[in-house]
Amino acid sequence: MYKVWTKAPSFDRSKAAASTWIYTIARNARIDFIRKNGSKDANTVELIAEDIWDEENDNQPYVYLNQARDKATVDQLLAELPPEQSECLKKIYMEGKSHVEVANELALPLGTVKSRIRLGVKKLQSWLTPAEGVC
Amino acid sequence: MAVYHPSEVELTEYSAGTLPWALSIAMAAHIHFCPQCKARVNELNALGAQLMDGSSASDNPSSQLAPDCLSKTLSRIRQAGADEQVQPSDSVPSKTSNSVFDGLPKAIKKIIGNPKELSWSFVSPSLRAARLSAGQKDYEVSLHRIKKGGSVAEHDHRGLEVVVVLDGSFSDENGTYKPGDYLVKNPGDCHRPTATMDRDCLCLSIVEAPVSLTGLLGKFVNPFLKINPA
């Protein structure tokens, strides 16, 4: 929460919902925390999560066109997602696992976990950007 | 505009922060050039936020907050306010007026440092490579520069390779790749990249294992190829 406070001046409500913004700060802090505590070379460059997950430095209007998400939409989507799809997504987001680790834990083929994630994410996309064409 | 994109699984892991560090750098490079995938990641971040919001501490006993958490945080904020100083915003060298490097994503610029100090090594007459130190031990991260019109020897892959075009373009049997294009190659994927005639092609390459040259040349060279994750 300290990081959220120090970064508060950079928050732009037109770009993202506050919860999403806080999520990205918390995620970056977790990544840096894990990396700091893991083994690493002494002579590594000082690359931090914020350099890679560079949310602030983006001013392409397209990106934020639909950015202020209706929280309820994602909430409702999560409620309607088949349990096996939301389970995979929860494990990735909340338990910090890769899809390979999720497959191992659930004793499922890799392809099954991949397709559950893909289906869940596609649904999210179709809900949030219904009118959009190709990507 | 990029034509070749990462998969939903890779985008999800990137948004969740579980994609390996080196591959996250490749993803950052792609997103720098691709507003659609940037938008996808923003959607996924909203999903992450919602999941974070919905998880109560009782679901996960290890995430219980200490009773003095709020007071500690508040005192830290007060302390920071007391000795607030304007810090230099970034240490990335920006004085070099090299247009190719100026347009690169932040993370890549940072691990390159001063582009003039990159140590390019000779790989073949058309290919130079500069290894980068990304702060991890699983993948070799490097810049590849293919001379305009030049070809790289045909090769297979002994492990995962992710390539992101940063400047210029190259083609192989499967297509033409422009800045931002994100290519994933696995063992069994053979190709012979050739840069287009108009300019040198600069790519970011993340490899898990050395490539494997095909043909007679490979028989001699392959045993000596190794990677240097950093």
The per-residue pLDDT for range B30-49, each reduced to its tens digit, is 999 999 999 899 889 989 98
Could you give the maximum distance between any two Cα atoms of chain B, in Å?
69
pLDDT tens digits in sequence order for chain A, 135 residues long: 666 666 666 666 555 667 788 888 889 998 988 888 765 555 555 788 989 998 765 544 444 445 555 567 888 888 899 999 999 999 999 999 999 999 999 999 999 999 999 999 999 888 876 554 444
Q: Is A3 on the interface with B (CB under 8 A)?
A: no
pTM of the model: 0.82
Phi, psi of B227 (to 5 degrees): -115, 165
Triad A82, A87, A89: Cα angle to 5°: 100
Type of residue found at A55: E
The minimal CB distance from A6 to the residues B80, B106, B137 is found for B80
Token pair in block for residue A20? 């999403």
Contact A45 B47 (CB under 8 A): no
pLDDT, tens digit, 9 for 90 and up, residues B107-151? 999 999 989 889 899 988 999 999 998 888 899 999 999 999 999
For residue B128, the cross-strand partners are: B122, B145
Q: Scanning every residue of chain B, which has its alpha carbon at the shortest distance from the alpha carbon of A101?
A: B18
Burial A53-91 (b: 16+ CB within 10 A, else e): bbbeeeeeeebbebbebebeebeebbeebeeebbbbbbb
Q: How many residue contacts between A and B have a Cβ separation below 8 Å?
A: 175
Q: B156, B157, B147: which is closest to B209 by C-alpha?
A: B157
Contact yes or no for B155/B162 (Cβ under 8 A) = no
Q: Which residues of B touch A124 (CB under 8 A)?
A: 43-44, 47
